[in-house]
Amino acid sequence: MVDADTRRQELERRAAEWAGCERCALAGSRTQVVVGSGEPDADLMFVGEAPGFHEDKQGIPFVGQAGRLLETLLEEIGLSREQVYIANVLKCRPPGNRDPLPAEIESCQGYLYDQIQLIRPRVICTLGNFATKLLSGSPLGITRVRGRAQEHTFGAVTVQLFPIYHPAAALYTPAMLDMLRSDFAALPALLAGGGAAAEAAPQPAPMSAAAAPASEPELDDAQLTFQF
């Protein structure tokens, strides 16, 4: 087992290396690569979609409005952003904050998997569809899988993957904010190791695509498209 200091240094070394990435065309439009921020030995890691305007300028993920909401939700469960690690599926801003393209995700995903190996979180919260689909390896959208932990192993690291709505989607939709808040409330129990998120807060029953009730239609990806 590599100790935390060694992993911390290695993460810094790689971040410096990744800053010059030219694996995809986003290298031509970005201001800078936004690798991630926070505690490199964190138990809790968040994975969002991609840097937006402010993140691209400042080089730090989640510094805009969605980031402020993320910080508020963290504070409500007694955590600060300095205690967690925050990263994105894409490390560079797509022009106009458009959705990540499959080829961009393909080019960039290795960085995220390296981050997971070095940080070794116990819980990964995927924020929204792109992070959830990538790390769950399933095409099921966030509306179907949110709020229920799934165990996944990435290389040497086994985590509780906990998909939740993207904070940007909750900014203007009170019902979504309520669900996000209730999912955050489940995090302390999950971090405590119970794998008991489902007991910590009222959760929807597991639902297959075919079994989704008509009264609760799945929002498709387009309905969860937002600007941040």
- Contact residues for ligand URA, defined by CB under 6 A: 48-52, 55, 61-62, 64, 66-67, 88, 168, 228
CB 166 within 8 A of CB 127: yes
Beta-strand pair 157-164/44-48: unpaired
Q: Least Å distance between CB 112 and ligand URA? A: 12
Alpha helices in the chain (DSSP H): 4-18, 53-58, 65-76, 102-119, 129-136, 142-145, 167-170, 174-185, 187-191, 197-200
Nearer to ligand URA (CB atom), residue 21 or residue 200:
21
For residues 119 and 198, which CB has a smaller minimum distance to ligand URA in the complex?
Answer: 119
Instruction: Please give the Cα distance from 189 to 32 (Å, whole number).
Output: 36
Q: Cβ-count burial of 225 within 10 angstroms (0-12 exposed, 13-18 middle, 19+ buried)? A: middle
119 in Cβ contact with 154 (< 8 Å): no
By beta-carbon proximity to ligand URA, the closer residue of 36 and 121 is 36
Q: Are 131 and 48 in contact (CB under 8 A)?
A: yes
With 0-12 / 13-18 / 19 or more C-beta atoms within 10 angstroms meaning exposed / middle / buried, residue 2 is exposed
Query: Closest separation between CB of residue 214 and ligand URA, Å?
Result: 31
The minimum distance between CB 101 and ligand URA, in angstroms, equals 15
Q: Which is nearer to ligand URA, 67 or 163 (CB)?
A: 67
Q: Pick the closer one to ligand URA by CB: 43 or 55.
A: 55
Nearest-approach distance from CB 70 to ligand URA, in angstroms: 9
- Which 8-state DSSP code applies to residue 27? G
CB of 222: closest distance to ligand URA in angstroms? 17
Instruction: Give the gyration radius of the chain's Cα atoms.
Output: 17
In the bound state with ligand URA, the residue whose beta carbon lies nearer, of 168 and 224, is 168
CA count, 13 A, side-chain hemisphere, 176: 20
Q: How far is the CB of 95 from ligand URA (least distance, A)?
A: 15
